[in-house]
Amino acid sequence: MPRDRFDKLSQYFHVNDSTTNLPRDDPGYDRLHHVRPVLDIVKKKCLENYKPHQNTSVDEAMIAFRGRLGFRQYLPAKPTNYGVKVWMRADSENGYANDIDVYTGKKGDEHNAQYGLTTRVVLNLTQDIANKNHIVNIDNYFTSYQLFEVLKQNWTYARGTARSNRKGFPSSLLHPKCVKNQGDIKIVQKGKTAAYAWKDKKNIFFLSTADDPTENAGQVKRRQKDGTQRQVPSPGVVEKYNIKMNGVDRSDQTRTAYPTYRMCKRWWTYIFFFLLDLSISNAFILMKESPNHRLMTKTGKDKDRSLLSFRMNLSKQLLGTYRATRKRRRVSNVDPFGGGHWPKESEKKGRCRRCSKDKKRSDVKWECTGCGAHLCVFCFEKYHRGSEFNWQCT
C-alpha cells in the first residue's frame, strides 16, 4: 500500500460516532466510547468461541502508549512501563485470552462495589466460570483471604503468592523463627484455605484453596555459592503455581510476536490494534487445537502450525483480489481532445517514457497533451516518430 493511501485511510478511520457520547460530567460518560463497539464484540467472541480448561490465570497486560491520557499507567516492573493497563484472564494451557477489561482509572463500580479494586477485578473476570470448579491462578497483587472466601462460595478455587501485610493473613507465619533455613515449610489452615510459608532465598508466602496441604512436598534445584546444585524441599503448590500462572504471559508472547500497530497521535487506535492482535492470536490458538485443521507431513505425522504462516495466509484472505501495485496508464494513439500531440507542464513529475526504453531514469515535469506520456523535451519528437507507434503525428 502506498504511504499516502495509508495516511489518508488513517486520517478518516473511526470506530464509533463521537457525538453520541455523553458529556464528561455525566455519570454515564464512557472513556472508551471511541472503541466501545469493537471492544464489546471482541470480548463477546472470546467468551463464546472457546471452552477453557480447568486452570486459568488472571494478570495485567500493558498497551504501550506514551502520549497524554488521563488513565495512562506507569508500571516500572513491566517491560512496557507506560501505557494503558488491561486486566486479562487467559487459559493456562495455551494462552487463549478468555476475557479482558481495560482499566480507565478509579471509578464507581456497581457490580461488587463492596470489595476493593483487586477483588473486584478477579470477580468480574471470573463471573462467567463461576460454579464450574475452575482454578484461578493469581499473583500477590490480587491474592487476599477475602477474595479466596468469595471465590469458594462460587465453587471456584484459587492459588497464588501472597503478601504478608494483607488483611486476614495468619500472623503465626510471620514470626522470624517460623522458617529459618532454606527449604523449611510451615502450613496453617482455616476452613478450606491453606496458608504456606516457605524459606527459599527469602520467605515466600502462598494461599490456596485448590491444593491438599498434606500432599508430599516437591523439590527445586538451587545453585550454591560453591557452584554445586542442591535439591531444596518446596511445597507442592509451588510447582503447580509456576506451571499454571503463565497464561497471560503466553498470550502476550503470541500477541506481540508480529504486532500490527503503527505510530499515531490518537490513543484509542492503540487499543484497536491491541484488540486486532488479540483476535489474531486467539484465532491462531483455535486453529492449532481444531481437529479439522491439522497439518500433516508427507509421512502422515502431525506438523506444528507456524504463527507467521498463519498470519500471512490470514492477510491474503483479508486482502482478497486487491492489487498492491499501481496500474500504469495505457498509452493510446487516440487523441481525446483532437488537438494533436503537444508538450505541456504536468501537475506531478513522472519518468520519461523514451529514456526508460534506454534503461535511463529521468524525472520530468512535461507530458504530451495527446497520449499523456511524460517525456523530455529532447525525447518528444523521437518518441512520436520512432518505433513506439506505427503511425506518425499530424
Q: Residue 328: what pLDDT?
A: 59
Partners of 234 in beta bridges: 218
Q: Residue 392: what pLDDT?
A: 40
The answer on pLDDT for 393 being more than 60 is no
3-class secondary structure, 296 = strand
Q: Which helix (H) or strand (E) holds 62?
A: strand 55-64
C-alpha cell at 164: 504478608
Phi, then psi, of 352 in degrees rounded to 5: -65, 125
Tens-place pLDDT, residues 78-103: 888 899 999 999 999 999 999 999 99
The answer on pLDDT for 338 being more than 90 is no
Residue 335 — very low, low, confident or very high, per pLDDT cuts 50/70/90? low
Q: Residue 222: what pLDDT?
A: 87
**Residue that has been written with the C-alpha cell 512496557 in this structure:** 80
Say which residue, 358 or 247, is predicted with more confidence: 247
Closest among 372, 374, 370 to 349, alpha carbons compared: 374
Q: Residue 391: what pLDDT?
A: 40
Tens-place pLDDT, residues 4-28: 988 899 899 999 999 999 998 888 8
- From residue 178, alpha-carbon distances to 60, 149, 237 in Å are 32, 25, 19
Q: How many angstroms separate the CA atoms of 312 and 319, rounded?
A: 11
Length of the chain: 394
Q: How many angstroms separate the CA atoms of 6 and 316, rounded?
A: 18
3-class secondary structure, 137 = strand
Q: Provide the 10 A C-beta neighbour count for residue 21.
A: 17
Which residues, at least 6 apart from 360, have a Cβ–Cβ distance to it below 8 Å?
352
Tens-place pLDDT, residues 372-389: 888 888 888 888 776 544
Q: How many angstroms separate the CA atoms of 364 and 285, rounded?
A: 53
